[in-house]
Amino acid sequence: MGDTEATRVLVVVGAGTMGQGIAQVGLLAGFETRLVDLSLDALEAASDAIARRIDRTSGPDTAVAIARLSVSTDLALACRDAYAVIETVIESMPIKVDVLRVACESAPVDALLGSNTSALSITEMAEGIGTPSRLVGLHFFNPVPKMQLVEVVRGTRTSAEAIAAAQTLARELGKEPVVLADSPGFVASRINALIGNEAFCMLEAGVASAKDIDTALKLGLNHPMGPFELGDLVGWDVRLKVLEYLHANLGEKYRPCSMMIDYVAEGRLGRKVGRGVYDYPA
Ligand SMILES: NC(=O)c1ccc[n+]([C@@H]2O[C@H](COP(=O)([O-])OP(=O)(O)OC[C@H]3O[C@@H](n4cnc5c(N)ncnc54)[C@H](O)[C@@H]3O)[C@@H](O)[C@H]2O)c1
């Protein structure tokens, strides 16, 4: 990959929720980190937020870590000496392909190219760039500084070198990588979608209350959160979209439960609107 130990540059494209999280762990792992987005205002707000969060970590090197952050609206320029480029722009195939095409043309030929897509096909995305073998899915989880897992997704043309480089990068960022073939929902989201759906089917059938279903999974299966607590946090509209995508691609097993559809239609989306399966008074 790209550069020497001392000057390794991590380029993170997209300064939203995930881009900020990945930039934060990159800085704390010692990378010179460049955050790229469309507007300087968004970038300034993002770099302030990252600096505040790093400051709160109160390690001995926080000022040094913050000083390694730079921002840019010029993707090609930012990539020129990159060790790795990770795109975290909005979940749109054409936009991601545009970003990765520029990164592929501008970054050194041995720089890793990663996409943080939640669900889009890495194989299809790779077909849009100059060298498809360079692209790997690097699926981080939210909030990035806290969540240990990175799903490393192998497209049909991803090279073994790119997979090895992605595993190394994930570990350098303090994460545990798992490698999987490109398939809808990858591993964690696919299983989680089924758990959330089944929980709703059980609620609908009157098997147990929402609270008791949550308690059963927390105390009986050692899940840190119950399926309704987690769905309320993520948002049932987001959950329903994932299920619809899995249903369309993987079949009947993923058909969304009618009660979940009703909750979304009624606007009971979760914490973000103050009301989901549970109520969250303001
Ligand atoms: N939020 C999550 O919980 C989560 C978890 C895992 C993966 N993801 C995936 O990560 C990606 C980003 O999600 P997010 O929640 O951070 O989104 P977000 O909306 O918070 O941020 C996206 C950012 O991308 C920027 N952007 C859009 N087009 C761009 C371009 N052409 N060049 C540069 N920047 C551009 C936007 O200005 C915005 O700042 C998506 O693919 C999403 O599916 C999200």
**How far, in Å, are 82, 133, 200 from residue 159 at the CA level?**
19, 5, 40
| C-alpha of residue 208 to centroid of ligand 1, in Å | 37
Ligand 1 atom closest to 36 (CA): 33
Q: Tokens in use for 1?
A: 């990959």
pLDDT tens, 34-61? 999 999 999 999 999 999 999 998 777 8
- The full set of domain ranges for the chain reads 5-181, 190-273
Q: What percent of the chain has pLDDT over 70?
A: 98
pLDDT tens, 127-145? 999 999 999 999 999 899 9
Q: What is the CATH number of domain 5-181?
A: 3.40.50.720
- Mean pLDDT, residues 93-109 taken together: 98
Q: What percent of the chain has pLDDT over 90?
A: 92
Ligand 1 atom closest to 117 (CA): 41
For the Cβ of 84 lying below 6 angstroms from any atom of ligand 1, the answer is: no
For the Cβ of 203 lying below 6 angstroms from any atom of ligand 1, the answer is: no
Q: Which residue has the higher pLDDT, 56 or 173?
A: 173
Q: Is 258 helix (H, G, I), strand (E, B) or coil?
A: helix
pTM over 0.75: yes
Which of these CATH numbers, 3.40.50.20, 1.10.3720.10, 3.55.50.30, 1.10.1040.10, describes 190-273?
1.10.1040.10
